[in-house]
Structure 1
Amino acid sequence: MADAEEDFTALPLPDRFIHKNWKVRKEGYEAAAKEFSLAASEADPVVRQFVQDAGIWKGVVGDANVAAQQEGLAALCSFLEIAGPQGCTRTRQHTVSVIAEKCLSSTRAVAKQKALEALMLYVELDKPDPIIEELLPALSNKQPKVIAATLDALTQLYHAYGCKTIEPKSVLKALPKIYGHADKNVRAKAQELTVELYRWLKEAMKPLFWADLKPIQQQDLDKLFEKVKDEPAPKQERLLRSQQAAKEVAMAAGAEEEEEEEEEEVVIDLEPDFDPVDVLSKIPQDYTEKLASSKWKDRKETLDEVQKALNHPLIAEGPFDELIRGFAKSMKDANISVVMTAANCVELLAKGLRKKFAKYRSQIMGPILERLKEKKQAVTDSLGAALDAVFASSTLTDCLEDISECLKHKNPQVKLETTRFLIRCLKTTREVPSAAEVKSIADSSTKLLTESQEVQRAAAAEVFGTLWKIMGDRMMGPHLDGLDEIRKTKIKEFFETAEVKAKYKPKPVAAPKPVAPPAGKRPLGKKPPIGTKKRAPPAAAAAPPPPREEPEPTAPLAPKPTSRPAPSKLGAPKSGLAPPSRLGGLKKPGSALVAPSPRRAVVSPPLEDEAPIAPPKLGLAGRGLAGRPLGKPQVEQMQVPISQAPTGLGLVERAELDELRAEVERLRRQNEDVRSERTYLNSQISELQNQNAQLIEDHTRDVLSIKAKETQLVRARSDYEAAEQTVQNQRREVDRLKRELSRQVRATSPPPTDLAEQIYTDSNGSGRYGDSGYGSQGLYGRARGVANGPLSPNGEGKENFDSSSRPGSNLSGKLSPLRHGVGRESAMSSMSSRGGRLSPAETSASSMEPPRQFETTRQSQASAGAESWKRAAEVTQNLKQRIEMMKAKQGIGRPQQ
């Protein structure tokens, strides 16, 4: 048996890992754990072979023997600690799902602990997303104990790393299904996980799963949430390897500081996942034409259709330029319903496109800000919501230019609403504004603090307070110094109540800058000789200021420097102290005339003793000319402690720093020029776009006007042609009447002998004009009958033009003093039954009836005498006038006699 055990021990570790004897496997796992703990790095051969053969770990964590499985999990943890990210990424696809199914629900507490530690190490070494993806399928396992153990592991992971490190969205979406499980242990573990997530996310997590829970489940969770609602915000207990490395770098750079009381807010994406929708196909094809309609209802209906098409949480990217131009044009609409609908469309499009909407911001933000002049609250609310959505797709830097322009607007309402919009931007932005932007906002707010309206002053103070909350006392102090105490108190109130998402953190100053470079360039590591310090030329007046000087350690060599005033000028050193060729060109004129100071006589012996060390001083002077100013006492020039050795290098660095500052200033000016030029170009673009929109509107209006004129012209032409046709028909009728009249006149009998008889004949339709239709009906009756009756093609009168065929004449009752007889009425009825025509027999009969019927009347008129003659003459004259009027009305000339 001993020989067999020795043979097992002699086997390689991979062979022992897959041995059929569980004891051999267990011993192999233990031996591997020891080897991994002794390995120096992940490049060790023992570690490399298990990294390359990553599939072997699947059998280790899924070992059928629980004792061997426990040691295998311990070996995996030891391997992960030394193998690093490469070992993690190579093995996790083989082990995580097996750990979830067979290890987390183990009956051994140590095995469960090791399994959980392995999951922690997998998250720590790389990133947590692949681990969560491998664990989620275990929540659908058939065994309730596996689901409960997986939920408990997820709870421990979120408790250790937090929701900022591990994405919670996928887990939150799986919770409703878990709450419907039949096992109470599973539901209990689900509640624990939900409470842990609530500690990190609070109410923001509810939209993802809350609606899918039953009311009783919601009530139970609300009771659990109340217990942890007032707890302080949790902190991440374990750091990823990447976070650990970043922390070490910060500590090495000298930025080791305690954590701030107010930590940065956890930014977690809890938006539900949606598929992008192509809305361009749903936009009406005649969108632009309908927006140019003169009826506001047509414009409103078009925008309603667009709003319905844009009502999607995620919109696919596409060419929305024409749509944006229409919205910008609608912002100038006189109807507020159109403006509100357009603002709603802008809000939906900005929320649907999200960050992709940023390229349209410059086209729509300006018109919306201009429309803020509307005083109705419903309109300003719609415009404000649209502005907030536009800002969410861009940054404060992008929007600040348009906001600053509107803060100077002449309309007080525009200034007030723009100020409120700026407050909302400062509260929601996650990017700290730059120093230039802070100055711009502070200057604009300072001017607004002097406005006459109290609400405007309060809004400006809130801008100051919110900006103060973001930037802190140090950055806002210079901008608040010039304000009076009353305004500062008001700003302080808003500062205390402001809630912001961005906090300014000054960058730590790098510690190696003042230490490392001088350490390598200090000359010989010795203190420069006192005598050589006297070689400082007059040009050293630009050296560092006196506060950097230290007391002279050799004070007994010279009298107190404060015993006498410092001479204004000191003579140059004697020629024996230093070569005059290096410094002679730097002497000031007349310096040789100054008598040497008593200090020089005292210090000269040490100079002679240390004369051989003069060349290093010359080299130091040549590097930086680091001497004290000539206006100082000589004893101050000799004060050269060790800390002053790198003074020349400091000057070089200072010169470089000045150059860098000049370069930064130049770049800043260039940036300002570019920004101003961009502003000018943007304004020109906006102006041209507005002009283009106006031209399009004018063109559309002109086209519609032209079309209306063309329609009117077509109608006028049609009316003209109809009138022309009517005139021609009337002319033909008049010509035919003329011919018929001439024919009737020629066919008449000689004139009557007696005027009274003639009048009687004319009145009864007989006599000279009896056949021509000048009877009781008269000329008017005949003309009307001809106009109403059918016409012959050649214009000849083939019909019977007797007065009895004209029952509708208007002159029959006016011109004839007598009524028609019974025979005439019967003729008329027979004529009407045959379409207005009479037979020749009837015509002759009707023409013969009048003399028989009115024989008695003739005799009575003849006996009337002169009175009857006057009356007849009057009737004749009236008849002639009416004939002339009829001829003039129809354009007929007088007939030739």
Structure 2
Amino acid sequence: MAEAEQDFSSLPLADRFAHKNWKVRKEGYEDAKAQFEKTPDESDPAFTPFLQDPSLWKGAVADSNVAAQIEGLGAYCAFLKFGGAAACTRTRNFTVGPIAEKGLPCTRPAGKASAQEALLLCVEIDKADPVLEDLLPTLSHKVPKVIAGALAALTVIYHNFGCKIVDPKPTLKALPKAFSHADKNVRAEAQNVTVELYRWLREAIKPLFWAELKPVQQQDLEKLFEKVKEEPTPKQERFTRAQQDAMATASATPGGADGVDEEGGEEFVEEEAEEVDAFDLAEPVDVMPKVPKDLHDQLGSSKWKDRKEALDALYNAINVPRIKDGPYDDIVRALAKCMKDANIAVATVAGNCVDVLAKGLREGFAKYRSTIMVPMLERLKEKKVTVAESIGQALDSVFSSTDLSECLEDILEYLKHKNPQIKQETVKFLIRCLRTTRTVPAKPEQKLIADAGTKLLTESTEAIRSGGAEVLGTMMKILGERAMNPYLEGLDEIRKTKVKEFFETAEVKAKERPKAIVAPPKPAAPAGKKVLPGKKPAVGQKKPVAAAAAPAQDPPAARPAAKAIPSKLGGLSKPGLAAPGSKLRSKLGGPGGVASPQRRVAEPPAEEAAPAPAQPKFGLGRGLAGRPIAKPAAPVETAPPPPPAPAGMTAAEKAEMEELRSERERLAHTIEDMKSERSSLNSQITELQNQNAQLIEDHTRDVLSIKAKETQLVRARSDAEAAEQNVQKQQREIERLKRELARALRASAFSPTHGGSDADSMGMPEANSLYQDTASNGHIAAARSGLHLGSRFETARPRSYASSNPSEEKENTGLESPGYGTRDNGLGRRKLSPTYGYSGIGSPTRSSTRNSTNQTEEEGQPRAAQPAENWKRAAEVTSQLKARIEQMKAKQGLSRPSAQR
């Protein structure tokens, strides 16, 4: 009781914060809050103990007693609110984690609200990233109510500050784990966070975590999203201290030199919130491993289906929210070539590929713009709606990766195209570019666009004329009516009315800021001071003239080239440092040199000329440098005089005017040089494009020639294989015939000899008959061969051989008919008598065998076709044959009865 009644108010707040009695701690929290609210500024000593020992707040926000914890959270909120940035940055590492574990799950609404307010103040005072780093690990806590409390705090943070101030990517990556939690309260809070993020990001949140959810969860979220789609775009409800300072500065500066209006801060916040999209949230993906390896081979196929399938595979590989930058030159060139494809399906898919590639690379695609934009603009000639939409969407994506200045030259070039379809689609593309660009076109670009739009108003096609009016109306929305009036002067009232109609309905993102108000001119110089340029001295006023005529202090003021000489000639601003007269004249256009335009009009009035006595103090006297620079020389008077200067101008003003004129001339020369250089570069580009087209055509022709040669080669190979098979077949047939011949020879070699009876049976009449048959048929070679052929083979066959099997005769011995006994020795033929059948002659047949190889064509010819000399040879052969037969008969003792037997 004594301890309870004891007064602890005299103790320091640090000791009371660490006291073991919760009531003492609670009173300490209350006193600290009261002191913080009474402090005049952030440097008050009341904050010092807590800044020196930030761990005091760790126990305060996570006090074991609920009542004391609520007061501790309230005191910490007051500390953050009045303590400034140092109070937040020094203590949040000690407080965010305990607040997430003990404060957010608090069962009392006051405690939970104070915990959420503390987190909101930490985000408001500094930034949200450190708060998220300490808050998101709580989503893996083992206690479900702690996870649910952290998710509820995230919902409140995003609702108040939006996704531009608080990065949504870490939260979106952690959401799938919360959706798979077993506790229904955790899943419900995860849905609330997801819906809140959808309010800000819309469909951009899906690529990051949507695929990891179950289909049932996706359906439930889609139902919740339908309700949010009808709501207007959310706005940031709480602003950071930096935003508050910016808005305070903007409201204090009423739209002047800064170009910011009274609501500039809110407009800035809204513009920043609109920039959040899927590209900013997604991580870069390396798509090169997913690109088909045979992409270029498939795109070179002669079948359009193969080309389309290759582009479909490429589209699936690169269709990701954000693509990692890499070498995509070959792919872009292949897509540019596909823009010229005759098949519209291939061109459509190619446009889709360019679209997703440009969206995935964003600024990284800018280097490929010159490669792909011209082929796409050329393909706009296609009248198919699907092709035009695909290529138009791709053009918009390519433009989003660059800016209007980069694309304007190609656009204006195709606005002059002879094809009306290309011209019409290009006008639409230009209008979309003007609507989406965030940079105001420069003055030369404004004139080019306005001239192109004015020219389009005279086209014969209504759609093109309307497009030209819309171009001018959109430009008027960007620049303002006053800035566009000079470009609309030559139009009639009907066209001006149409342009203003489009001006009223146009929506643009780039607007010409009002120029800074020029500061008011300084008050007029008092008497005795130099008159400002542009002001004429009053009548009778002599003091400015006298001031201008005081050369002792500033002699160059009375000289025409005084403004330009000091920067180029060093010390010429003082007479004592002037160069010798010859050099000075050569530089300033004296005799013997080029006359300067400043020199011609530089002669000052008599009262403004520099008097001589002021120069000798530098020790140069009245030498060459002492002569007046403005004294005209004789050759200068022959030059054409410049336009007369207005009356009343001082020498300095005249010199400045001449300098401006020379600057204008130099600028005109520079512009002309740049124009000529640009035209030469354009001609080089055109020449290179023509060469490229020629190379492509030659390559295509070579590819077709190679394919034709390959086809011929395939056919020749097939013919060669067929011929080889035929040769092998003939060789097998030859081998078979050789085997049959060898078999016949072996059979005849081992058979008994019947030569005596054969020779006996032949007799003289048979020889005559043989002679007659041979002579009548012209078979001289056969008769000759019969003289030399041995009787070994001829006598080996029996007498009944003439009546053997016809097939055997034809295959083995060449006999065509058993009746006539025609025998073929393999090369020549002999026709025998039908009465005696086959005649075995003996040795004459050897000659037939040897000489039959040279008698292939003569044996088959009729007797009338043989030359007359063959008869003589036949007679000689016949006489020899008779002699041989007689010798054989005498030697062997052959007789007719034995031959007939």
Give the TM-score normalised by structure 2: 0.62
**Which position in structure 2 is the counterpart of 1:351?**
359
- Number of residues paired by the alignment? 709
Residue equivalent to 1:115: 115
1:542 aligned partner: 534
Deviation at 1:241, TM superposition (A): 1.0
Distance 1:752 1:305 in 2: 97
- Report if aligned partners of 1:752, 1:768 keep a CA contact under 8 Å in 2: no
Equivalent position of 1:864 in the other structure: none
CA distance in 1, matches of 2:73, 2:384: 69
Residue 144 to residue 508, structure 1, CA distance change in 2 (3 Å)? farther
Are positions 1:259 and 2:263 aligned together?
yes
Q: Is the 8 A contact 1:329 1:693 kept in 2?
A: no
Larger deviation, residues 473-482 vs 366-375: 473-482
Q: Aligned partners of 1:474 and 1:148: how far apart in 2?
A: 58
Worse-matched range after superposition: 199-208 or 344-353? 199-208
Q: 1:243 is aligned with what amino acid?
A: Q
How many Å separate the matches in 1 of 2:50 and 2:673?
A: 61
Seen in structure 2, the aligned counterparts of structure 1 residues 172 and 303 have a Cα distance that, compared at 3 Å, is closer
Contact 2:478 2:512 in 1 (8 A): no
Residue in 2 that maps onto 1:462: 470
Query: What is the one-letter code of the residue matched to 2:835?
Result: R
Preserved contact between residue 264 and residue 503 of structure 1 (Cα < 8 Å) = no
Alignment partner of 1:316: what SS?
Answer: coil
1:365 aligns with 2:365: no
Deviations 1:729-753, CA, capped at 9 Å, x for gaps = 9xxx9xxxxxxxxxxxxxxx9x999
Alpha-carbon distance in structure 2 between the residues aligned to 1:848 and 1:541: 140
Matched, 1:829 2:807: yes
Shift of 1:492: 4.0
Deviating more after overlay: 677-686 vs 444-453: 677-686
**Residue aligned with 1:161, SS:** helix
Structure 1 residue 43: Cα displacement? 5.2
Q: CA offsets per residue over residues 197-256 of structure 1, 9 Å max, x none?
A: 565556766777788555873576367448xx365x544332211112222333444437
Alignment partner, residue 68 of structure 1: 68
The structural deviation recorded for 1:155 is 4.1
Q: How far apart are residue 50 of structure 1 and its match? A: 3.1
- Cα deviation digits, residues 98-140 of structure 1 (max 9, x gap): 2233223434444333323212211111222433454445556
Match of 2:335 in 1: 327
Q: For each residue in 1:646-689, what CA deviation from the matched residue of structure 2 results, as whole angstroms up to 9, or x when unmatched?
A: xx9xx99xx99999999999999989987996896587468547
- 435 and 7 in structure 1: CA distance in 2 versus 1, 3 angstrom threshold: farther
What root-mean-square deviation, in Å, do the aligned CA atoms of Structure 1 and Structure 2 show? Answer: 6.1
Question: Match for 1:504: what amino acid?
Answer: K
Structure 1 residues 34 and 711, CA gap change in structure 2 (3 angstroms): same
Structure 2 counterpart of 1:429, from 408, 412, 437: 437
Does the 8 Å contact 1:343/1:383 carry over to 2?
yes
- Secondary structure (helix, strand or coil) at the match of 1:266 reads helix
Q: How far apart, CA to CA, are the structure 2 residues paired with 1:3 and 1:158?
A: 47
- In 1, distance between residues paired with 2:299 and 2:347? 12
* 1:217 matches 2:195: no
Shift of the 164–63 alpha-carbon distance from structure 1 to 2, 3 Å rule, reads same
Question: Where do 1:394-793 residues align within 5 Å?
Answer: 394-500=402-508, 502-504=509-511, 506-507=513-514, 509=516, 513-514=519-520, 532=527, 542-543=534-535, 570=539, 582=550, 684=684, 688=688, 691=691, 694-695=694-695, 698=698, 702=702, 760-761=773-774, 769=782
Deviations 1:459-508, CA, capped at 9 Å, x for gaps? 223333444444444544444454333334433444444444x1415257
CA distance in 1 between partners of 2:458 and 2:812 (Å): 101
* Partner in structure 1 of residue 853 of structure 2: none
Contact 2:138 2:146 in 1 (8 A): yes
- Residues 380 and 391 of structure 2 are in contact (CA less than 8 Å); yes or no, is this contact kept in structure 1? yes
How far off its partner does 1:64 sit? 0.8
**Contact 1:37–1:78 (Cα < 8 Å) also in 2:** yes
Contact 1:25 1:68 in 2 (8 A): yes
The 3-state SS of whatever aligns with 1:850 is coil
Which range moves more in the overlay, 157-166 or 293-302? 293-302
Q: Secondary structure at the match of 2:278?
A: coil
Residues 290/674 of structure 1: CA separation in 2 closer, same or farther (3 Å cut): farther
Name the counterpart of 1:852: 835
Q: What's the offset of the Cα at 1:351?
A: 3.1
Change (3 A) 1:244 1:541: closer
| 3-state SS of 1:373 partner | coil
Q: Secondary structure at the match of 1:450?
A: coil
* SS across alignment from 1:542: coil
Contact 1:752 1:758 in 2 (8 A): no
In the alignment, the residues of structure 1 paired with residue 499 and residue 89 of structure 2 have an alpha-carbon distance, to the nearest angstrom, of 54
- 685-694 or 107-116, larger mean C-alpha shift: 685-694
Task: Output the amino acid matched with 1:830.
Answer: E
Relative distance call for 1:670 and 1:62 in structure 2 (3 A) is farther
Amino acid at match of 1:440: L
Q: Contact 2:29/2:71 (CA < 8 Å) preserved in 1?
A: yes
Amino acid at match of 1:448: L
Structure 1 counterpart of 2:383, one-letter code: K
Q: What amino acid maps onto 2:389 in structure 1? A: D
Amino acid across the alignment from 1:68: A
Shift of residue 391 of structure 1? Answer: 2.0
Alignment check: 8 A CA contact 2:536 2:648 kept: no
* 276-285 vs 57-66, greater mean Cα deviation: 276-285
Shift of 1:63: 0.8
SS of residue in 2 equivalent to 1:414: helix
Give how far 1:77 is off.
1.8
Mapped to 1, the partners of 2:668 and 2:27 lie a distance apart of 69
1:85-100 aligned within 5 A:
85-100=85-100
Q: Is the 8 A contact 2:354 2:394 kept in 1?
A: yes
User: C-alpha displacement at 1:372, in angstroms?
Assistant: 2.1
Aligned to 1:32: 32
Q: For 2:100, what is the secondary structure of its paired residue? A: helix
Measure the CA separation in 1 of the matches of 2:12 and 2:397: 65
Shift of 1:571: 5.0
| Counterparts in 2 of 1:106 and 1:303: CA distance versus 1, 3 Å | closer
Q: d(CA) in 1 for partners of 2:790 and 2:8?
A: 143
Mapped contact 1:771–1:801 kept (Cα < 8 A): no
Cα shift readout 1:142-174 (whole Å, capped 9, x = no counterpart): 656545544544444344333443344555676
Q: 2 CA distance for matches of 1:844 and 1:410? A: 87
| Structure 2 contact 250–263 (Cα < 8 Å) conserved | no
Q: Is contact 2:777–2:862 with CA below 8 Å preserved after alignment?
A: no
Q: Determine the structure 2 residue equivalent to 1:893.
A: none
Q: Is the 8 A contact 2:414 2:422 kept in 1?
A: yes
Select between 276-285 and 346-355 the one with higher mean Cα deviation. 276-285
Q: In 2, distance between residues paired with 1:12 and 1:799?
A: 152
Q: What is the CA–CA distance in structure 2 between the aligned matches of 1:144 and 1:883, rounded to whole Å? A: 123
Match of 1:315 in 2: 323
- Tell me the TM-score normalised to structure 1 length: 0.62
- Provide closer, same or farther for how the CA distance between residues 508 and 186 of structure 1 changes in structure 2, counting only shifts above 3 A: farther
Contact map agreement 1:764 1:850 (CA 8 A) in 2 = no
CA distance in 1, matches of 2:709, 2:203: 64
Moved more, 453-462 or 705-714: 705-714
Which sits farther off after the overlay, 320-329 or 133-142?
A: 133-142
Match of 1:446, SS state, is helix
Q: 1:398 to 1:59 in 2, by over 3 A?
A: farther
2:417 counterpart SS class: coil
